[in-house]
Amino acid sequence: MKYLLRYILFALILQCVPVLKVSAQPEHPRPRQADSAKQCAICHYRWVFAFFVEHRSTPIAPLQEKKVVGSQEMCLSCHDGSVMDSRDRICNDPGHRVGNIPSKRVRIPATFPLDQFGRMTCSTCHTPHATTKEEGKIGGFFLRAPNINSSFCKQCHITKTGGKADGNHPTDISAQDVPQQVLDAGGRLGTDMPNQIICETCHSPHGGVNNRFLVLTVEDPKTRSVLCEACHTKKPGLTGDEAHHQNSHPYDLTPGKIPKIPKKWNNGQEVVLGTGGELVCRTCHIPHAAADKQALLVERNSNDSLCIECHGDHKNIASSSHYRTIVDPEELNIKGQKASDLGPCSPCHLVHHGAGKLMWARTSAQISGRPGEYCNSCHQPGGAAEKVMPKEFSHPIDITMTAKTAPGVLPLFDDIRGENPDGKIRCATCHNFHDPYPMFDDPDNKGTQQGKYLRFSEQGASGVCMQCHPRQGLVKNTDHDLTLIAPDFVNAQGITVSQGGVCSPCHSVHQDQQQKLLWAAPRGPAKLQWWNQTYSSDYNVMTMLCTGCHAPDSIGAEKIPKYGLHPKDFLVPGRELTLELSDDRPTRFEDDDFPLYSDDGEIIDTGNIVCVTCHNPHQWEPYRQAQGPGRNVEGNVANSFLRPGLDVQFCSRCHGRDSLIMYQYFHRDIGREKTEPSFSFK
Amino acid sequence: MRTIKTFLLLFIFIPVSIQICCGDDVPVIQTRHLFDIEADFLHPSDIAVGTKGRVYVLDGVNSRVVIFDRKGNYKSSFGTRGNGRGTFNNPIGIDVDNNGAVYIADSGNHLIQVFDPEGHFTFEFPVDTKKSPLPADPTDIALDDAMNRCYVVDNDNHRILVYTKDGSKLLEKWGERGEKPGEFQYPFLAATDNQSTLYVVDVLNTRVQALNAEGRTMSVIGKWGVDRGQFYRPKGIAIDKNNRIYVSDSYLGVVQVFERFRKFLGVLGNEKKELLRFNTPSGIVVDNDLHIYVIEMTLNRARVFQILN
């Protein structure tokens, strides 16, 4: 009997083995309130009787010990269309992330379960047990807690609340209008006030368009900043001012080579661009955790430092007279901001709500883009820069250019679009207002320097001229290049060659004295005293421009014409003009042309032969489109600034077969008066 | 005494032995893997075999149908997302009649669209919503050429709608929400056999109901569980030419095989008699050559096997 009892005891112990196995689950703690009933285990898979009670696998199902109730696979097992079709929203859009460990910026309430690895699962937010009669308050999405005006979101995303004070886009404010576009895309409004902005106005945890699950895109190449624009541009949005974001910084455009967009901002934040490389609102602004809390900027913009990060080519303005912050600290822009409180950009430009194109901040009048309008806001009588105003005789503006004069490197402008390759010359064609170089002494303030703000200043002070006048640029390194032969020469405007560059001895773009060719060199007499006074004209502008230098005691005294000009009033008729016309102005000095001039210096069909009829003062060798030799060379008939063709047909070009007879007749007649040959070829 | 000892020993060891043997013992329906079909699907849900060897994959979230030949070579596709003719909104079920006409259960657009074998739109008909608490949610359509019928599964309204094949006439409505025979909880995919029996996967009742032409439940196949012949998430159903019934279980990842009406036959396995494990198997179909096509929804592909026994 004793043995019998032992057997019975042994048998009972063995029969209890499965039960002991179930009890021994060190890795996976026994769940609370587990129930193997179908209603529970249909989602709580590990509660299936075979697994949980019998702790065994089945022929078709391995033993399940881990918690999988909130896994995406479990959710999809019903949300694949068999109960609810959420394939689009849960599994294929970039919705709220699951399967990752929440960042430190997120605070997960203790009642929101994570999986055993601390990762987000569907059940972190959702539970089927949450359905109540107050379906509306719960949200109808099986959320674990009521979601009143996005209160559910804020339980975890504590750093995304607090509005601008915490560097976040404000919520729980009433927008004047919310575009239907946002609502159609799934954006929701709060219920406490009209058009209440809540988290879900912009974000949809399922059904968003990007990994921030925004309801509309901010960086798509086709629709770009559409979410921001929906409220802040195209519709009145929050401010009630329809024009609030007109005349703003350009966006939704791919920047050109300049400005240069950095990969990262100075504070290390990634620079966000549209998927096509476009500048988008999000490039400068960030709706959460903004460094600049007022404007929600990605980085603080102290002294316009954010602007300069892209517009680095404008940084030289800080050393210029255009730096209003230093030059005129008390000056106010149209927002009433004092220059001394601003960086170098904001006195002239407002990123949003400018007075016109270029986000102009210097006049409240709407800027239309007409010629000189921006510049005149300062460079006018009574303006901040009235001392530096365009003179009466200046390079023409608001004209188009021909192919020969417009190589396409300088910007042209129209009234509507601004910069336009087919536009016209404006101040900004030659001037870069943000770069003062080259500098020169300020005649009004001794000891200080003034900037010319010229483009291509790295090519010298006249570098910009040669961009449109490349043929005239061949004057470099010739005997007419005073930077080589007379660097101390001062033109009629008081500008030295070193200040003004190679063009400046003869031409001054802005002056108040001479209109003809914007002449800056001294004018000479119309005829020299030893010329035949009878034949020479008493007044001939074109001659006077040359004799300003090529006269006794002048810089060109060594090259004075020995004989006078072609007889006065013996005008050359009948030549066919082949000149190209530009804006009704004749183009001068064509290679195959021998221009004739009126006494006033206009090219005419029948006119006087003057120096430049035969000479091209900008090109040393007629058959070589090149700059000069760079040293003083004695000329001959093959160079000497002569025009092409003169070496073989100097006279016959006009006089034909009669050339020799006429030459002998007229020149011998002249010679007979002086009893010596009038002219001889060496 | 000796007898008592012997009895006790048997009492001890027999249950343990039974537990061990049964744990691994499951009949395997052997198959040989032929090929997989992939074509940038996005959560495909169902598959059908048509005339001239055409295979139609319903590429649900892409809202299109992709046509392949019987070797899995891409031929063409039709349909885009939309709500007009020839466009779909997350369709789920597909079937092909004996003439090759392709019927699509366009769940999101609440209607049935019919196309010719090449994918050209033929006609459409809306799914009836009279007296239904929710908008129609047609998740599948099963065709019965012999009866000139089509059975539309209205998932959200837990019922089957019987139409003439041309959709012109609603003949009957079968079922409501419930657990009794003839009632449904989220019926999903369906198929017919050659004896005009309709088989409907009753997802949350974890069973397949076999209905005769009058709508009476002839038998219930499977029940709740994770063991042989039981279902956890039944989804797809197919009938082969021998009237064997194949049911996919998207969470257990297996395809189980039953005799007509009830008896469990086995589970699809490979040539080594190892169980075939699928990832979210959904719609299935078996052609006359006993090739079984299984949609793996989350892997965005269809797997094709030759059934060997």
> E-strand spans in A480-600?
510-511, 581-582, 585-586, 596-597
Best of B5, B42, B43 to mutate (most A CBs within 10 Å, chain A): B43
Q: Residue A485's pLDDT band (boundaries 50, 70, 90)?
A: confident
Provide long-range contacts, Cβ within 8 A and 24+ apart, for A161-165.
A164/A293, A164/A294, A164/A296, A165/A293
What are the two backbone dihedrals, phi and then psi, of residue A326, each rounded to the nearest 5 degrees? -95, -45
Whether A20 shows a pLDDT value over 70: the answer reads no
CB contact under 8 A, B297 and A51: no
Query: CA-CA distances (angstroms) from residue B202 to A87, B96, B221, B231?
Result: 20, 22, 10, 10
Q: Is the pTM of this model over 0.80?
A: no
A448 in B contact zone (CB under 8 Å): no
CB contact under 8 A, B186 and A81: no
> 3-state DSSP call for residue A557?
helix
Looking at CA atoms only, how far is residue A202 from chain B in angstroms? 24
Between strands B28-37 and B264-269, the pairing is: parallel
Looking at chain A, how many residues does it have?
A: 682
Of B15, B22, B139, the CB nearest to A81: B139
Contacts of B102 by beta carbon, 8 Å cutoff, 6+ apart:
B48, B50, B56, B65, B94, B95, B96, B114, B115, B116, B117, B119
CB contact under 8 A, A58 and B227: yes
Of A14, A59, A88, the CB nearest to B25: A59
pLDDT attached to residue A612: 86
A58 in B contact zone (CB under 8 Å): yes
Among A35-39, A324-328, A506-510, top mean pLDDT goes to A506-510
Looking at CA atoms only, how far is residue A127 from chain B in angstroms? 18
Residue position matching structure tokens 């198929």:
B191
What are the two backbone dihedrals, phi and then psi, of residue A134, each rounded to the nearest 5 degrees? -85, 60
pLDDT attached to residue A682: 36
Whether A237 shows a pLDDT value over 50: the answer reads no
What's the pLDDT tens digit per position in A54-79? 899 999 999 998 888 888 889 899 99
Helices (H), A143-246: 151-156, 180-184, 199-202, 226-232
What's the pLDDT tens digit per position in A72-103? 889 899 999 999 998 887 666 677 888 889 99
Of A4, A58, A92, the CB nearest to B42: A92
Q: Among A221-225, A341-345, A473-477, B198-202, which is the least confidently predicted range?
A: A221-225
Contacts of A19 by beta carbon, 8 Å cutoff, 6+ apart:
none
What is the Cα–Cα distance from A305 to A298, expressed in whole angstroms? 12
Confirm if A437 and A449 have CB atoms less than 8 A apart.
no
Residue A528: other Cβ atoms inside 10 A? 20
Give the distance, in angstroms, between the CA of residue A551 and the centroid of all CA atoms in the same chain: 51
What is the Cα–Cα distance from A378 to A398, expressed in whole angstroms? 19
Q: Among A188-197, A393-402, A445-454, B285-294, which is the least confidently predicted range?
A: A445-454
What is the Cα–Cα distance from A252 to A231, expressed in whole angstroms? 16
A73 in B contact zone (CB under 8 Å): yes
Residue of A nearest to B81 (CA): A88
Looking at CA atoms only, how far is residue A88 from chain B in angstroms? 6
Looking at CA atoms only, how far is residue B52 from chain A in angstroms? 30
What's the pLDDT tens digit per position in A515-531? 778 888 888 888 887 77
Between strands B55-59 and B149-154, the pairing is: unpaired
Dihedral (CA of A93, A96, A100, A105) sign: positive
Provide long-range contacts, Cβ within 8 A and 24+ apart, for B210-214.
B210/B261, B211/B160, B211/B174, B211/B182, B213/B144, B213/B147
Q: Residue A541's pLDDT band (boundaries 50, 70, 90)?
A: confident
Best of A80, A84, A91 to mutate (most B CBs within 10 Å, chain B): A80
Q: What tokens appear for A125 in the block?
A: 């937010």
Would you call the peptide bond into A438 cis, given omega within 30 degrees of 0 as the criterion?
yes
Residue of A nearest to B108 (CA): A85
What is the Cα–Cα distance from A390 to A509, expressed in whole angstroms? 9
Residue with more model confidence, A420 or A590: A420
Can you spell out the DSSP letters for B72-107?
--EEEEE-EESSSTTEESS--EEEE-TT--EEEEET
Query: What is the mean predicted confidence (pLDDT) over A152-172?
Result: 91
Residues of B in Cβ contact (< 8 Å) with A14: 12, 16
pLDDT attached to residue A218: 78
Would you call the peptide bond into A259 cis, given omega within 30 degrees of 0 as the criterion?
yes
Of A50, A81, A91, the CB nearest to B107: A81
pLDDT attached to residue A146: 84
Cβ within 8 Å of B, A 317-376: none
Best of A9, A13, A21, A60 to mutate (most B CBs within 10 Å, chain B): A60
CB contact under 8 A, B203 and A82: yes
Confirm if A438 and A451 have CB atoms less than 8 A apart.
yes
Q: Which helix (H) or strand (E) holds A39?
A: helix A38-41
Strand partners, B49: B55
Whether A135 shows a pLDDT value over 50: the answer reads no
Q: Residue A3's pLDDT band (boundaries 50, 70, 90)?
A: low
Can you spell out the DSSP letters for A480-512?
T-HHHH-TT-B-TTS-BHHHH-TTTTTB-SEES
Residues of A in Cβ contact (< 8 Å) with B108: 85
Of A3, A49, A80, the CB nearest to B297: A80
Query: What is the mean predicted confidence (pLDDT) over A654-682?
Result: 55
Residue of A nearest to B22 (CA): A59
Q: Residue A456's pLDDT band (boundaries 50, 70, 90)?
A: confident
pLDDT attached to residue B289: 95
> 3-state DSSP call for residue B281?
strand
Whether A542 shows a pLDDT value over 50: the answer reads yes
A11 in B contact zone (CB under 8 Å): yes
pLDDT attached to residue A384: 78
Query: What is the mean predicted confidence (pLDDT) over A595-603?
Result: 82
A280 in B contact zone (CB under 8 Å): no
CB contact under 8 A, A81 and B256: no
A388 in B contact zone (CB under 8 Å): no
Best of A85, A90, A93 to mutate (most B CBs within 10 Å, chain B): A85
Best of B41, B251, B268 to mutate (most A CBs within 10 Å, chain A): B251
pLDDT attached to residue B30: 96
Q: Among A570-579, A667-676, B156-165, which is the least confidently predicted range?
A: A570-579
Cβ within 8 Å of B, A 78-107: 78, 80-83, 85, 87-88, 91-92
Helix axis angle, B2-24 to A2-15, nearest 10°: 10
What is the Cα–Cα distance from A188 to A148, expressed in whole angstroms? 12
What's the pLDDT tens digit per position in A308-339? 999 888 888 877 888 877 778 888 888 888 88
Provide long-range contacts, Cβ within 8 A and 24+ apart, for B57-60.
B57/B295, B57/B302, B58/B91, B58/B92, B58/B93, B58/B94, B58/B104, B58/B283, B60/A81, B60/A87, B60/B90, B60/B91, B60/B92
Confirm if A335 and A362 have CB atoms less than 8 A apart.
no
Closest C-alpha to A251, from A233, A237, A269, A231: A233
Of B226, B297, B298, the CB nearest to A58: B226
Residue with more model confidence, A495 or A662: A495
pLDDT attached to residue A461: 82
Query: CA-CA distances (angstroms) from residue B5 to A12, A34, B1, B16, B152?
Result: 14, 39, 6, 17, 63
DSSP structural state of residue A91: I
Can you spell out the DSSP letters for B144-166?
ETTTTEEEEEETTTTEEEEEETT
Closest C-alpha to A148, from A182, A121, A171, A178: A171
A5 in B contact zone (CB under 8 Å): no
Between strands B170-174 and B138-144, the pairing is: unpaired
Q: What tokens appear for A108 in the block?
A: 């997960």
Residues of B in Cβ contact (< 8 Å) with A80: 43, 45, 235, 250, 280, 282, 297
A4 in B contact zone (CB under 8 Å): yes
What is the Cα–Cα distance from A672 to A149, expressed in whole angstroms? 111
Residues of B in Cβ contact (< 8 Å) with A11: 8, 11-12
Under 8 Å CB pairs connecting chains A and B tally to 119
Cβ within 8 Å of B, A 22-41: 38
Looking at CA atoms only, how far is residue B83 from chain A in angstroms? 16
What is the Cα–Cα distance from A650 to A68, expressed in whole angstroms? 102
Whole-number average pLDDT of chain B: 91
Residue A31: other Cβ atoms inside 10 A? 13
Of A14, A74, A87, the CB nearest to B43: A87
Of B11, B22, B186, the CB nearest to A83: B186
pLDDT attached to residue A319: 76
CB contact under 8 A, A59 and B251: no
ipTM summary value: 0.91
Dihedral (CA of A212, A214, A218, A219) sign: positive
> E-strand spans in A442-595?
449-451, 510-511, 581-582, 585-586
Among A5-14, A53-62, A659-668, B150-159, top mean pLDDT goes to B150-159
Closest C-alpha to A287, from A192, A171, A188, A185: A171
Looking at chain B, how many residues does it have?
A: 309
CB contact under 8 A, B227 and A50: yes
Among A379-393, A667-681, B192-206, top mean pLDDT goes to B192-206
Looking at CA atoms only, how far is residue B219 from chain A in angstroms? 21
